[in-house]
């Protein structure tokens, strides 16, 4: 049965959709009360994100004179939202539909999902940590009337502040690896005892260790903020200081589920352009589709972006946590799995 049919004969499933809508309303209340402006930026863009490990979906279309254009569906609205920080908006948020190819059709992934992003000008990732704690705590209080979240048999205390663990501490504590002595592939590999992790890419080793050694050992009764990522994992984050190996980036995990990723935003146009060029080279090496660099974004940084903090949070994952749902295909009304693989 398709999900919409199941809803037809189940008030319980209908209730889940009503609560999803309520969560959307509460998110808007939360940000509007905090003085944030809701913005809508385009889903169809000329230059998608350059991240080497993501696969943006290509779109081909024509204008009224039949001239061909090629664009992409966004994997995140971040470039547009940062241009708006430069334009002079200082507290903004968006609930954006985002698209990623080469993702699993279900479980904790879907090729189409919703990203909640918010940005604060004249701020940094420390303030964003506080925002995300307050937001999740507030939503759970309204939806489940408790300081605790019950998810898949686990009881999680959401009361802020949440425990924080730096990436450096996590690697040292759970995997016995000193990341300060793992700045390149060779020095990283020399510290590895388990053959399973001997790969030829710094980031692959990083995540193999993270997913096998660290994530399964993170406390399950509290959310956790993992912060200060090493430079190869910098993405669009600002360095801690000029020559630091660590950047101001954090991730939020709740019972092992990666919920959100945040930065003190990189505002240096030159360094940003250099990183995008490096990522473009890496994409070519990995045989990923070519994506032009968004020069308009670089130009915005040249004009001057205020020091800012920003975050991307997977809305469906948050809804799954709040509503006790394990598989995203049981949350969405029209999951890609049913739209594209199940016949009628």
Residues that bind another protein (CB under 8 A): 1, 9-13, 51, 53, 102-104, 107-109, 195-196, 199, 201, 203-204, 206-208, 210-212, 216, 229, 233, 235, 251, 258, 261, 312
Cis amide prior to 156 (ω within 30 degrees): no
Q: What angle do CA 261, 298, 54 make, to 5 degrees?
A: 40
Helices 269-285 and 295-304: crossing angle in degrees, nearest 10, is: 160
Q: Which is nearer to another protein, 107 or 161 (CB)?
A: 107
Q: Which is nearer to another protein, 181 or 217 (CB)?
A: 217
Q: What angle do CA 217, 53, 190 make, to 5 degrees?
A: 55
Q: CB of residue 213 vs another protein: minimum separation in angstroms? A: 10
Residues 169 and 177: their CA atoms lie apart, in Å, by 9
Which helix (H) or strand (E) segment is 81 a member of? Answer: helix 78-87
Which residues does residue 97 pair with via DSSP β-bridges, in sequence order? 114
Q: CB of residue 252 vs another protein: minimum separation in angstroms? A: 11
Q: Which is nearer to another protein, 148 or 207 (CB)?
A: 207
Q: CB of residue 52 vs another protein: minimum separation in angstroms? A: 9
- Report the relative pairing of strands 91-99 and 37-38 from DSSP bridges: parallel
Which residues does residue 262 pair with via DSSP β-bridges, in sequence order? 250, 311
Q: CB of residue 88 vs another protein: minimum separation in angstroms? A: 29
Contacts of 153 (CB under 8 A, 6+ apart): none
Contacts of 180 (CB under 8 A, 6+ apart): 168, 245
Q: CB of residue 10 vs another protein: minimum separation in angstroms? A: 4
Q: Which is nearer to another protein, 104 or 278 (CB)?
A: 104
Residues 147 and 156: their CA atoms lie apart, in Å, by 9
Residues 84 and 44: their CA atoms lie apart, in Å, by 17
Q: CB of residue 118 vs another protein: minimum separation in angstroms? A: 16
Residues 271 and 249: their CA atoms lie apart, in Å, by 16
Residues 113 and 321: their CA atoms lie apart, in Å, by 15
Q: Which is nearer to another protein, 55 or 86 (CB)?
A: 55
- Report the relative pairing of strands 224-230 and 164-166 from DSSP bridges: parallel
Q: What is the DSSP string of 82-107?
A: HHHHHHT--EEEEEEEEE-BS--SBT
Q: Which is nearer to another protein, 53 or 148 (CB)?
A: 53
Q: Which is nearer to another protein, 17 or 208 (CB)?
A: 208
- Phi, psi at 286, each rounded to 5°: -85, 10
Q: Which is nearer to another protein, 27 or 252 (CB)?
A: 252
Q: CB of residue 247 vs another protein: minimum separation in angstroms? A: 11
> Would you state the structure tokens that stand for residue 170, as one six-digit string?
């996590």
Q: CB of residue 194 vs another protein: minimum separation in angstroms? A: 10
Q: CB of residue 215 vs another protein: minimum separation in angstroms? A: 8
Q: Which is nearer to another protein, 44 or 196 (CB)?
A: 196
């Amino acid at each position: 049965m398709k999900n919409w049919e199941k809803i037809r004969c189940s008030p319980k499933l209908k209730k889940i959709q009503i609560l999803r809508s309520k969560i959307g309303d509460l998110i808007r209340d939360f940000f509007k009360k905090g003085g944030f402006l809701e913005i809508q930026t385009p889903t169809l863009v000329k230059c998608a994100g350059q991240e080497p490990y993501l696969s943006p979906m290509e779109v081909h279309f024509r204008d009224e004179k039949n001239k061909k254009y090629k664009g992409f569906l966004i994997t995140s609205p971040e470039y547009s939202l940062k241009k708006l920080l430069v334009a002079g908006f200082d507290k903004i948020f968006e609930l954006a539909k985002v698209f990623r190819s080469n993702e699993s059709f279900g479980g904790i992934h879907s090729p189409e999902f919703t990203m909640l992003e918010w940005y604060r000008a004249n701020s940094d990732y420390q303030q964003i940590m506080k925002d995300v704690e307050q937001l999740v705590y507030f939503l759970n209080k309204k939806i489940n009337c408790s300081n605790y979240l019950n998810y898949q048999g686990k009881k999680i205390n959401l009361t802020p502040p949440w425990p924080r663990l730096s990436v450096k501490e996590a690697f040292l504590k759970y995997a016995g690896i000193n990341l300060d002595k793992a700045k390149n592939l060779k020095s990283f590999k020399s510290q590895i005892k388990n053959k399973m992790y001997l790969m030829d890419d710094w980031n692959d080793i990083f995540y193999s260790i993270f997913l096998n050694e660290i994530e399964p050992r993170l406390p399950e009764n509290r959310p956790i903020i993992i912060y200060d990522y090493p430079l190869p994992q910098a993405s669009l984050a600002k360095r801690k200081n000029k020559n630091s190996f660590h950047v101001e980036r954090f991730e939020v995990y709740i019972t092992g589920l990666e919920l959100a990723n945040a930065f003190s935003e990189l505002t240096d146009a030159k360094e940003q352009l250099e990183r995008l060029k490096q990522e473009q080279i890496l994409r070519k090496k990995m045989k990923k589709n070519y994506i032009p660099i968004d020069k308009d974004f670089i130009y915005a940084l040249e004009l001057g972006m205020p020091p800012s903090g920003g975050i991307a949070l997977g809305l469906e994952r948050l809804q799954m946590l709040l509503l006790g749902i394990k598989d995203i295909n049981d949350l969405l009304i029209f999951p890609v799995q049913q739209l594209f693989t199940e016949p009628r």
